[in-house]
Structure 1
Amino acid sequence: MQMTDMQFGAARPVDGYGPGFFRVAGEVHHGPMIAAPDGVHPWRGMEAPEEIAALAGQVDVVLLGTGADPAHLPAEFRAALEEAGIGVDAMASPSACRTYNVCLAEGRRVALAALPV
């Protein structure tokens, strides 16, 4: 079997995560965060869909990490993103981080909004 390294170009992959933090492109970010094409930003969480909706036109889908366990998104939250034209796929944060990295390596227009584990 041949192994091929993922190539990210200028994108910022998630290097790791742990209790209360994420490491993105070598920098540690504490608390909920959004990794988007323009950088990594703090996120106020599920009460702030407008912070993700602001990415309209920059991304096609947001991978939403719900923390240590999978969870359903509040209907109002999902509706706000769909109204902005942004698809959202919710999953546990570890899965969201891995999926985000794969999508980045494929050159997709993706962002990650994640709650820490």
Structure 2
Amino acid sequence: MKLQPDFSPDTQMVSAYGPGYVEVNGVRHTSACVFAPQQAPKPWGAEHVGALLPAHIDALLLDPLPEVVLIGTGREQHLLPAALMRQLISRRIGWEVMDTAAACRTYNILAGEGRHVLAALMIE
């Protein structure tokens, strides 16, 4: 019995992560990036929570809007400023803030279920 889901080779999945990097489909990224199952990683520009601006959150609001946005904040979980959270809430987008390792694991689970998830990862 096959237990692994079938993925298109183009489906973006986290293949590895560790201190200072995240690999998506075998390609290593060493700075903040954003990606979705059908969107290859691209630079995000948000290197730490203290540097987040409304424009960084606007960059996550793709067409079509994701069901859920996972924000990885590096080695430790850091909460977002309330004004930035309101940007997501006002668009009725689910979101979760966690450390980057947890965001990688959660992303793979949700993407594997076929959910329209978006990962925005800060890498320390």
* Shift in alpha-carbon separation, 1:67–1:57, aligned structure 2, 3 A: same
Gaps of 5+ in 1: none
Taking structure 2 as the reference length, the TM-score comes to 0.81
Q: Does 1:72 align with 2:79?
A: yes
* Corresponding residue for residue 49 of structure 2: none
Q: Which moved more, 1:102-111 or 1:21-30?
A: 21-30
Q: Which runs of 4 or more aligned residues in structure 1 lie more than 4 Å from their structure 2 counterparts after TM superposition? A: none
* Corresponding residue for residue 7 of structure 2: 8
CA distance in 1, matches of 2:2, 2:80: 36
Deviation at 1:94, TM superposition (A): 0.4
Structure 1 segment 22-37 matched on structure 2, within 5 A: 22-36=22-36, 37=38
| RMSD (Å) for aligned C-alpha atoms | 1.9
Deviation at 1:42, TM superposition (A): 0.6
Deviation at 1:69, TM superposition (A): 0.8
Counterpart AA for 1:115: M
Deviation at 1:20, TM superposition (A): 2.6
Counterpart AA for 1:18: G
Pairing partner for 1:103 from 100, 103, 110: 110
Q: Does 1:88 align with 2:95?
A: yes
Q: Does 1:63 align with 2:64?
A: no
Count of residue pairs brought into register by the alignment:
115
Counterpart AA for 1:29: H
Counterpart secondary structure, 2:88:
helix
CA shift digits 1:10-41 (9 cap, x unpaired) = 42111112333211011112211101232211
* Contact kept in structure 1, 2:18 and 2:101, CA below 8 Å: no
Taking structure 1 as the reference length, the TM-score comes to 0.86
Give the percent of matched residue pairs that are identical in Structure 1 and Structure 2: 32
Counterpart secondary structure, 2:119:
strand
Gaps of 5+ in 2: 47-51
CA shift digits 1:61-108 (9 cap, x unpaired) = 011111111111111111112223322111111011000001011100
Q: Does 1:112 align with 2:91?
A: no
